[in-house]
Amino acid sequence: MFTDSTGLIWMSTDEGDVITLDKGNVVDYPVKPDSPLRNIKAFAERAPRGIWAGGVGGLALIDSGQIRPIKPAASGSLKDVTGVVDAGSEGLWLNTANGVIHIPRDEADRALRDPFYRFDLDRIDSSDGLPGQTETLDPYPKAIQGTDGRIWFTAARGLAWVDPKTKILRNAIPPPVYIEEITANGKPYDASDGLQLPPHVRDLAIDYTALSLVAPEKIHFRYKLEGQDPDWREVVNDRQVQYSNLAPRHYTFRVIACNNSGVWNEAGAALDFSIAPAYYQTTWFRLVSIAAFIGLLWAFYQLRLHQIHSQFAFGLEARVGERLRIARELHDTLLQSFQALLLHFQTGIDLLPGRPVDARATLDVALDRADQAISEGRDAVQGLRASAVEANDLVSAIRILGEELGAADTNQNSAVFEVEVEGVPRNLHLILRDEVYRIAAEAFRCR
């Protein structure tokens, strides 16, 4: 809870809401899923009805019901704010999980005017005299300004105070940054531009550093491997980065650093290198593989066409063979029966003048034999369909068929039949020719 200079009471809840109480009037500002500030742990007054709020996510100004967050240049510096003191012209003083933070007044004002601006800050920790790590456990707040102007902070091993009117000596020199060495699969290489590493790089380590004679342990680094990292990564006093299983391509490694006072060397250092591809990772190998795959598909396609053609030809040969078999059967059965009938008819004719009774009996036997021959012939030709024409001239066969159908039609309004040929005629297989002829004949007869 916090009471500002107008008597307005500010409260934060465990759920993250901000509630104000003004002479019995209660206003609830519920937390939103995309809220830049959660779990508020400290309030401080900037101006009447303008309140600083700090918590998980950093620092923001609540102004007329709107939350206006400000962001530091060193990301992660304000990840958990547990105390806020607005010292006026001496700036903001915060207790955070990373130590005591001082934000100059002009930096805070600029961050409020420009939401894209990232302000500079000063950090004080145990190396500067703070008794241990700063505390982040409740109760809150962890920072308060006394009546004498000094600001008090709680730490793990006691209390500490700072006089905000005492000027903090800033290190204004940005630290020079160097990339020292690159190691691929345990083998070191000089960090020179244009370096080409061998294929199959499983483990890659890049060593870099920044020079600062004042609190070198407080140097912050940001690095990014272009072609691999989507954004900058920030580390504290860590001078090596490792990657694994990098793809073969060109890379640019960039690193920048800031000193203990938050002054960044934006130019930093950069290293251009590339990883050579293995033979199976090259463009020509991919093209050859694609061509081979297409060729294999084409070969399978041709093989399948050959199989289908062979199956079709086998079916046609089987049908032709069946016709030949039926023809032989007709020759062996029906024709022989007709030959025997001729003998019986001849005998009957010879007996007819003098022996009509015997002639009749002989002719009766011939008729019985004829019925038997017809039955045998029907069985033999049941699967046989005669060819439409003797010559392989489908055009002439269809023309003759049309003329015959036209001549047999006695209707005065009979159709006029013509055959027109386009292109060069091709000879068809015997079975195919008969099938086409029968389709045409069925269409004519069903007109």
* pLDDT tens per residue across span 120-158: 888 887 777 788 888 778 888 889 999 999 999 988 888
Q: What is the pLDDT of residue 376?
A: 64
Residue 336 maps to a domain: no
Average pLDDT, the chain: 82
The CATH number of the domain where 191 resides is what?
A: 2.60.40.10
Long-range contacts of 329-337 (CB under 8 A, 24+ apart): 329/380, 330/377, 330/380, 330/381, 333/376, 333/377, 333/380, 334/373, 334/376, 334/377, 334/380, 337/369, 337/372, 337/373, 337/376, 337/377
- Are 19 and 150 in a shared domain? yes
Q: What is the pLDDT of residue 385?
A: 45
- Are 187 and 141 in a shared domain? no
Pairwise pLDDT comparison (389 vs 329), residue with the higher score: 329
**Window from 175-179, 245-249, 257-261, 305-309 with minimum mean pLDDT:** 257-261
Q: Which of 261, 280, 299 is the last residue of a domain?
A: 280
43-65 per-residue burial string, b: 16 or more CB within 10 A, e: under 16: bbbbeebebbbbbbbbbbbbeee
pLDDT of 252 > 50? The answer is yes
Q: What is the pLDDT of residue 445?
A: 62
- Are 120 and 238 in a shared domain? no
Q: Which residues make Cβ contacts (< 8 Å) with residue 293, sequence separation at least 6? A: none
Residue 302 maps to a domain: no
Q: What is the pLDDT of residue 339?
A: 67
Per-residue confidence band for 381, with pLDDT thresholds at 50, 70 and 90: low
Residue 215 maps to a domain: yes
pLDDT of 207 > 80? The answer is yes
The C-alpha atoms of residue 435 and residue 419 are separated, in whole angstroms, by 18
- Are 256 and 117 in a shared domain? no
Q: Which of 162, 193, 226 is the last residue of a domain?
A: 162
Long-range contacts of 189-195 (CB under 8 A, 24+ apart): 191/271, 193/271, 193/272, 193/273, 194/272, 194/273, 195/271, 195/272, 195/273, 195/274
**Window from 40-49, 90-99, 279-288 with minimum mean pLDDT:** 279-288
Q: What is the pLDDT of residue 388?
A: 43
Per-residue confidence band for 389, with pLDDT thresholds at 50, 70 and 90: very low
Q: What is the pLDDT of residue 346?
A: 78
The residue segments making up the domain with residue 201 are 177-280
345-357 mean pLDDT: 79
**Window from 73-82, 203-212, 287-296 with minimum mean pLDDT:** 73-82
Pairwise pLDDT comparison (387 vs 142), residue with the higher score: 142
CB 108 within 8 A of CB 61: no
The CATH number of the domain where 50 resides is what?
A: 2.130.10.10
CB 43 within 8 A of CB 5: no
Residue 129 maps to a domain: yes
Q: What is the pLDDT of residue 396?
A: 83
Tens digits of residue pLDDT in 270-280: 999 998 887 77
Pairwise pLDDT comparison (409 vs 256), residue with the higher score: 256
Tens digits of residue pLDDT in 314-323: 877 777 777 7
pLDDT of 267 > 70? The answer is yes
Pairwise pLDDT comparison (417 vs 379), residue with the higher score: 417
The C-alpha atoms of residue 442 and residue 370 are separated, in whole angstroms, by 32
108-147 per-residue burial string, b: 16 or more CB within 10 A, e: under 16: beebbeeeeebbbbbbbbeebebeeebbbeeebbbbbbee
In this structure, what token pair is assigned to residue 391?
A: 């010559």
Q: What is the pLDDT of residue 271?
A: 92
- Are 206 and 156 in a shared domain? no
- Are 418 and 444 in a shared domain? yes
Query: Would you say the pTM of this structure is higher than 0.75?
Result: no
Alpha carbon 264 to chain centroid distance? Answer: 39
Pairwise pLDDT comparison (286 vs 167), residue with the higher score: 286
pLDDT of 176 > 90? The answer is yes
Residue 239 maps to a domain: yes
pLDDT of 171 > 70? The answer is yes
Q: What is the pLDDT of residue 78?
A: 81
**Window from 185-189, 223-227, 261-265 with minimum mean pLDDT:** 261-265
Q: What is the pLDDT of residue 337?
A: 65
The C-alpha atoms of residue 340 and residue 429 are separated, in whole angstroms, by 37
Q: Which of 246, 280, 314 is the last residue of a domain?
A: 280
Among residues of the chain, what percentage have pLDDT more than 70? 87
Q: How many domains does the chain have?
A: 3
- Are 134 and 259 in a shared domain? no
The C-alpha atoms of residue 343 and residue 57 are separated, in whole angstroms, by 120
State the sign of the Cα–Cα–Cα–Cα dihedral 249, 198, 257, 95: positive
233-241 mean pLDDT: 87
Residue 37 maps to a domain: yes
- Are 42 and 124 in a shared domain? yes
Instruction: List, in sequence order, the alpha helices (H) in 161-272.
Output: none
